[in-house]
Structure 1
Amino acid sequence: MAHTLLLVDDEEKVLEFMEPFLRQEGFQIITAKTGNDALRKAKEKKPSLVVLDWMLPELSGIEVCRELRKMNRMGIIMVTARAEETDKIIGLEVGADDYITKPFSLRELAARIRSVLRRIEGPELSEHQIERGELSISESQCRVWKRGKEIPLTPTEFKLLLTLASRPGIVYSRLQLLQAALEDDILNDERTVDAHISRIRKKIEDDPSNPIYIQTAYGFGYRFGDRL
């Protein structure tokens, strides 16, 4: 079954640029030009992934992204003309799985879409549950609980946490995490891993500034605590 994409941009020419190519790539396409229309169509059509422009009328792309994250496990790629690192990190921190900066090639966009969809679907996982401290991580259900309360994670966040928690004490470089958890060592920036890790810590740590689960190995990368 073809994946449904929701393309959100207030410029008709941008939608006309993306839509024909992505249809040829085998995707079903829905479009929206405003933030409110995007939320309405996302609720009605339940797309697999949303390509979301940062600058929108009514609601900004950032506001829309926050609301989309309250819905089902759809992928979100932010499209922005902002090249500054801080702007990209803001997009990731509110729930985007990836970002792409204008101008971009359609081939790169399609590659990023497929990369995020792979993260959402994941490989076929065995019935296996990891217990680490107060965390319970279900591979088969792609769900995480702490003290019995479920913690909502994006697909990218879940794969990063699962990768680290599967081998406590082992240090992963940012590049290794891109390859193992995000399946992407070419299109993505290693610094995006830091933004994802920051968001995970805010969700699973009692004190994100003094983490016990995901620890920083300064100068190398990250490890999952092995004394829990």
Structure 2
Amino acid sequence: MSGVQQSILVIDDEAQIRKFLRISLVAHGYRVLEAGCGREGLTLAAEARPDLLVLDLGLPDMDGKELLAELRRDSQVPVLVLSVRAGDGEKVLALDGGANDYVTKPFSIRELLARVRVLLRRPASPGQGPGTLNCGPLAVDLDNRRVDLDGREIALTRKEYDVLAMLARHPGRIVTQQQLLRDIWGPTHVEDSHYLRVVVGHLRQKLGDDPADPRFIVTEAGIGYRLREQAP
């Protein structure tokens, strides 16, 4: 970690969950702020400007998705949803509403800490070019629209490249099917998930990526896809 201590705001109405997260996060070098309700959380987020939010959806004074909508009016702070709501529909709504990742309760603290580390890795500043994303032997050159695998260029169709590039711009993070379809095929195709499945299937063939044990593109069933930050 850098010399600057990163701060995490936990918004959850369960005191035991907040205590567990505080002990675990502090032990890994983070500074932890806590809020037991949505309004308190929004106030703390505005005043303390934390580096990351861990947000429960079932808050006593407002739904977590409502809090997320208010937060996103003027803040792009990374948000990790931590919720007992395990349905795909809830996950998609939260991710499309501005959450960066979603973990269901009960949860593994090792998995949560890994996802926290991913979200706290700062992207390039807006003034810099997008550069190249490397995932083991896979390199996605976002400046020149070029994809190399083991040092050799891979020929992709426009849609194949666009899907891979969108995943590469959010390494380690879930990108929902709706986001991919809306941004690549257009807003009239957000329900045409078969288009996306076909393109991802072709991408995997060209990258030699086994969908049952992927090195690169991981399927989040019923939700979307994410590109690994590092190949296993």
Normalising by the smaller structure, the TM-score range is 0.5 to 0.7
Instruction: Report if the CA contact (8 A) 1:178-1:193 is conserved.
Output: no
Instruction: Report if the CA contact (8 A) 2:83-2:105 is conserved.
Output: yes
Letter in 2 for 1:197: L
Instruction: Report if the CA contact (8 A) 1:77-1:96 is conserved.
Output: yes
Q: Tell me: CA distance 1:125–1:61, structure 2 relative to 1, closer, same or farther (3 Å).
A: closer
Instruction: Report if the CA contact (8 A) 2:7-2:50 is conserved.
Output: yes
How big is each residue's C-alpha offset from its partner over 1:70-124, in whole Å with a ceiling of 9 and x where there is no partner? 2222000111111111111011111100100000011111111111122xx1247
Instruction: Output the TM-score relative to the length of structure 2.
Output: 0.64
Q: Tell me: CA distance 1:165–1:30, structure 2 relative to 1, closer, same or farther (3 Å).
A: farther
Question: Which residue matches 1:220?
Answer: 199
Question: Which residue matches 2:176?
Answer: 193
Deviation of 1:208 (Å) = 1.1
Bigger radius of gyration, 1 or 2?
2
Letter in 2 for 1:93: D
Instruction: Report if the CA contact (8 A) 2:92-2:176 is conserved.
Output: no
Superposed, 1:2-13 pairs within 5 Å as: 2-13=5-16
1:180 aligns with 2:168: yes
Counterpart of 1:21 (choices 24, 37, 59) is 24
Question: Share of identical aligned residues, percent?
Answer: 29
Letter in 2 for 1:88: K
Question: Which residue matches 1:86?
Answer: 89
Structure 1: runs of 5 or more not aligned: 129-138, 141-161, 223-228
Counterpart of 1:57 (choices 55, 60, 73) is 60
Deviation of 1:42 (Å) = 0.4
RMSD of Structure 2 on Structure 1 (CA) = 3.4
Question: Which residue matches 2:50?
Answer: 47
Structure 2: runs of 5 or more not aligned: 132-140, 147-156, 202-232
Distance 1:178 1:17 in 2: 35
- Count of aligned residue pairs for this structure pair: 176
Question: Which residue matches 2:123?
Answer: 122
Letter in 1 for 2:180: I
Instruction: Output the TM-score relative to the length of structure 1.
Output: 0.65
How big is each residue's C-alpha offset from its partner over 1:134-177, in whole Å with a ceiling of 9 and x where there is no partner? xxxxx49xxxxxxxxxxxxxxxxxxxxx9599468251597x56
